[in-house]
Amino acid sequence: MTTAGDIMHRGAQWIPAHETLDRAAQLMRELNVGALPISDENERLCGILTDRDIVVGCVAMGHDPAQVTAGEMAQGTPRWIESGADVGEVLQEMKGHQIRRLPVIENKRLVGMISEADLAQHLTDEQLAAWVESVYSRSAMR
């Protein structure tokens, strides 16, 4: 059985909710990632911040990224998966919520992230095609 822990990339790093978006952008650059899980003061997942969130939700709105925090950008209920979850559960979680990145948790701690690139490396062509169709199709976006 292939698990979330098998396909995730390790080394995912939190951005604390109190950190500013300019610091988040710097961290994304340092880590060469496009998304960071946001943690509250107890290191619990409270959202995910993407590079697109910074551009569209802050910069394009005329806000100063040095004055807006990651926590202010966190919206909705954050999604995650346990490291021991089967790859089918991973796909269902991502499809069901139309998300492209999924934090992986083990013993209540962030241990990795699953991205589109991780799926492409570990899924069959058929699995990948079905996932892409469900996440990117026009009908799925409604």
Which sequence spans correspond to the domains of the chain? 4-136
In single-letter form, the type of residue at position 11 comes to G
Report pTM: 0.82
| pLDDT, tens digit (0-9, with 9 covering 90-100), for 93-128 | 988 888 889 999 998 889 999 988 888 888 888 887
Helix/strand/coil for 63: coil
133 Cβ contact list (under 8 Å, min separation 6): 140
Token pair recorded at residue 128: 């990948």
Structural fold of domain 4-136: CBS-domain (3.10.580)
Question: Does residue 8 contact residue 66 with C-beta atoms inside 8 Å?
Answer: no
pLDDT of 142 reads 41
Count the neighbouring beta carbons within 10 Å of the beta carbon of residue 78: 16
Kindly tell me if the per-residue pLDDT of 138 is higher than 70.
no
Residues 6+ apart with CB under 8 A from 123: 87, 91, 131
Give the separation between CA 74 and CA 64, rounded to whole angstroms: 17
Cα–Cα distance for residue pair 72/21, rounded to 1 Å: 10
For residues 18-35, average pLDDT: 94
